Amino acid sequence: MPPAAEQGRTYPLARPRSLAHHVSRFPRTSLDRLLRTIPGFPDPQRELEQYPTPPFAALQLLEHAWQAGGLAGSVADLGCGTGRLALGAAFLGAKVVGVELDSGALEVARQAATGAELEVEWRCEPVENWVQRVDTIIMNPPWGAQRPGADRPFLQAALATAGSVWSLQPAVSDRFLRRYVEQLGGAVAGAWPVDLKLERTMPHHTRERKTVEGTLYHLHPVGAR
């Protein structure tokens, strides 16, 4: 939990440079280049499952959301970490809020936004505090490897405040995910396999690289379009 002075803090906006929303074709090459420049966690915490979203997985999520028109309005990245998804969405023309509990990770995100000349509003607060309505939520929440059910507050907040949700989840949890989303009054509109290639970032990791099978889900509350 961040210090009381950090919680709810809103960081200054960086300068906007995005031109992607002015073009009709998805700017895959330039977006991929941007995503690869964004640093990982400076001090990754195992208990918070702070694994950076791999650039290729982030690119897939953003491309699907962009093609569906989900990045044309207001967007929130819940558990944004160092800002890879949030900055990608801002590059594509969305009005973005990035929400993150770790103030150190959020400072990395803020610096990355400044360097890329992209405009994002950064908020240092737990996801349980998120109540703002937005058009779309994008996220790669904790998968529950260290804390079972760690993704539940993210799914709850997302389906309660957005008309469309794009979330990366573990492939092995497909049955649970679908059942839980239904319990929350939501529905799965689409699902696509995504391989997440993770680098060794923590002392307990025994391999330099590991590929984890994930699924990109498009979710929405029942009745939303």
How much of the chain, in percent, has pLDDT values that exceed 90? Answer: 64
CATH of domain 9-221: 3.40.50.150
* This prediction's pTM: 0.82
Helix axes 152-161, 174-183, angle to 10 degrees: 50
Integer angstrom CA distances of residue 106 from 54, 60, 121, 163, 211 = 17, 23, 11, 26, 26
Q: 133-164: buried (b, 16+ CB within 10 Å) or exposed (e) per residue?
A: ebbbbbbbbbbbeeeeebbebbbbbbbebbbb
Instruction: Let me know: does 216 contact 194? Beta carbons within 8 Å.
Output: yes
Q: Of 12 and 222, which is predicted with more confidence?
A: 222
d(CA 13, CA 138): 20
Instruction: Let me know: does 143 contact 171? Beta carbons within 8 Å.
Output: no
Identify the band that residue 27 occupies on the pLDDT scale cut at 50, 70 and 90: very high
Spatial strand order of the sheet with 9-10 comes to 9-10, 120-124, 95-100, 74-78, 134-139, 162-170, 209-221, 186-199
> What is the per-residue pLDDT for 21?
45
Instruction: Let me know: does 139 contact 85? Beta carbons within 8 Å.
Output: yes
The stretch 138-156 carries a mean pLDDT of: 83
Q: Does 149 have pLDDT greater than 50?
A: yes
Q: Of 191 and 45, which is predicted with more confidence?
A: 191
202-205: long-range contacts, CB 8 A cutoff, minimum separation 24? 202/44, 202/46, 204/46
Largest CA distance in the chain: 45
Q: 2-27: buried (b, 16+ CB within 10 Å) or exposed (e) per residue?
A: beeeeeeeebeebebebebeeeeeeb
> What is the per-residue pLDDT for 152?
94
Identify any residues that bridge with 212 across adjacent strands, giving them in sequence order. 196
